[in-house]
Structure 1
Amino acid sequence: MAETNKLTIKEWAEEDRPREKMLMKGVSALSDAELLAILFRSGNSNETAVELSRRVLQKADNDLNKLARFTVHDLVNDFRGIGETKAVTLIAALELGRRRKESGVAERKKITSSHDAFEIFSPIFADLSHEETWALLLDRSNSVISPIQVSKGGITGTVVDVRLILREAINRYATGIILAHNHPSGNNKPSQQDIQITRKLKDAAQVMDIVLLDHLILCAQSYYSFADEGSL
């Protein structure tokens, strides 16, 4: 059987090499695999950086949101040719992308529906495998003052301190609050604990002339709204 000579990336035509292709045609001309290959810089003895990148993407069902949930341990142990440095580089790049998407989204946006709030919270919770609770502080016109992280917990729950939320709301002169947390399980129905904390925050906020406008439970691309369901 004739031996098949495999070309390395350096032997590819210049316009097909990821770095050169980006310089010649612009970053938008690159596929996801080619962008990953630039981060990885090299592959392994059997795969080019692009081929390794394609395999990583296949493992994530070609979904960058799923890829962002991979840990350093996942990448290092599942893919030959990916060491700690490559794994950390990839995760850092994905985190920068998430922060870019998040930054500016909430800037003075006026909230007129639960979906408006969902659009702000969605990038915050998108890649989390644990539960977090955030609050959106609003002014009298329901424009966003700022989102704040309230708590960070495990896979099944988190502890919410009502006093912390109200302190931040008072310090920032907020008159409205929208609470939100994620359910990594994928079930966006409220638990008894979710119902209790909603009532507790609503009652405590009223004393301060602050209105709890909604409480969202996010799961991937879906959410539960206490306000929409008439549970406030």
Structure 2
Amino acid sequence: MNYENKSLTIKSWAEDDRPREKLLLKGKAALSDAELIAILIGSGNRSETAVDVSKKILNSIDNSINKLGKLSVLDLQKFKGIGEAKAISIITALELGRRRRLEQALELPKITSSKAVFNIMQPIIGELQHEEFWIIFLNNSNKVLYKQQSSKGGLTGTLVDVRMVFNKAIELYATAIILCHNHPSGKLQPSNADKLITTKLKKAGETLDIKVLDHLIITENAYFSFADESLM
């Protein structure tokens, strides 16, 4: 019997230290990220427990769950003890979490602040590697009528058709719109192009009596609001 390897199996730990048992006894909030991932993969390798392997994966991405969600099957398989099935389990769990956030965002019926806009749009564009420009159309109670991608571009920027934006607003009888786009670079400061398109859309809206309430630049974890910064 290999006593050294035996000591590294989760079953040999005290019951409180086993991730599954810990979840049952103390609830899901008591588990660390590594312990939750350990439950997904079930086992480690000959020299490491599932928790050890999970910690190693997290350490490689600065303990960021957002970064974990961006890893591919091949990325995960680089870690000893992670085969295709385990990698798929991790990716599936993270994708379900992303869809849950998106579903919650879609349930928000009314815009009350820039933070509410961020909560709606971050799951949609916050983690993209290319830039997208979106419009949120609102009624006179600031309830969301519709959300639409206006343009999609590369890492350097997008092109926005002002006529198409307001055609849709008129079609929906919207009284206000909010502009949103992401910065894949993670930088929150608006560019000159961002300021110009904001001014252009705002002036066009004034002619049609459709207010442009805000323009948000969205990144993975934060946002910049033109309205909050008195730039509208």
TM-score range, shorter chain: 0.7 to 0.9
List gaps (5 residues or longer) in structure 1.
none
Q: Which moved more, 1:48-57 or 1:221-230?
A: 221-230
Distance 1:167 1:75, change over 3 A: farther
Distance 1:228 1:7, change over 3 A: closer
The 3-state SS of whatever aligns with 1:4 is helix
What is the root-mean-square deviation in Å for CA atoms of aligned residues? 2.9
Distance 1:21 1:134, change over 3 A: same
Q: Please report how far the alpha carbon of residue 90 of structure 1 lies from its aligned counterpart in structure 2 after TM superposition.
A: 1.8
* Paired residue total: 229
* Cα distance in 2 for residues equivalent to 1:3 and 1:20: 23
CA contact (8 A) 1:18 1:38 kept: yes
Q: Normalising to structure 1: TM-score of the pair?
A: 0.80
Q: Please report how far the alpha carbon of residue 62 of structure 1 lies from its aligned counterpart in structure 2 after TM superposition.
A: 2.1
CA offsets 1:94-129 (integer angstroms, 9 cap, x no match): 222223223234522232x43443343334344333
* Cα distance in 1 for residues equivalent to 2:93 and 2:148: 23
Q: Give the alignment of 1:7-22 within 5 angstroms.
A: 7-22=8-23
CA offsets 1:59-108 (integer angstroms, 9 cap, x no match): 2222323323333343233x222234333332232222223223234522
Q: Normalising to structure 2: TM-score of the pair?
A: 0.80
CA contact (8 A) 1:65 1:126 kept: no
* Cα distance in 1 for residues equivalent to 2:215 and 2:19: 45
List gaps (5 residues or longer) in structure 2.
none
CA contact (8 A) 2:77 2:87 kept: yes
* Cα distance in 2 for residues equivalent to 1:169 and 1:96: 32
Q: Please report how far the alpha carbon of residue 163 of structure 1 lies from its aligned counterpart in structure 2 after TM superposition.
A: 4.6
Identity of aligned residues (%): 54
Distance 1:216 1:71, change over 3 A: same
The 3-state SS of whatever aligns with 2:4 is coil
The 3-state SS of whatever aligns with 1:35 is helix
* Cα distance in 2 for residues equivalent to 1:148 and 1:102: 15
**Amino acid aligned to 1:160:** V
Alignment match, 1:225: 225
Structure 1 stretches of at least 4 aligned residues deviating more than 6 Å after TM superposition: none
Q: Please report how far the alpha carbon of residue 36 of structure 1 lies from its aligned counterpart in structure 2 after TM superposition.
A: 0.6
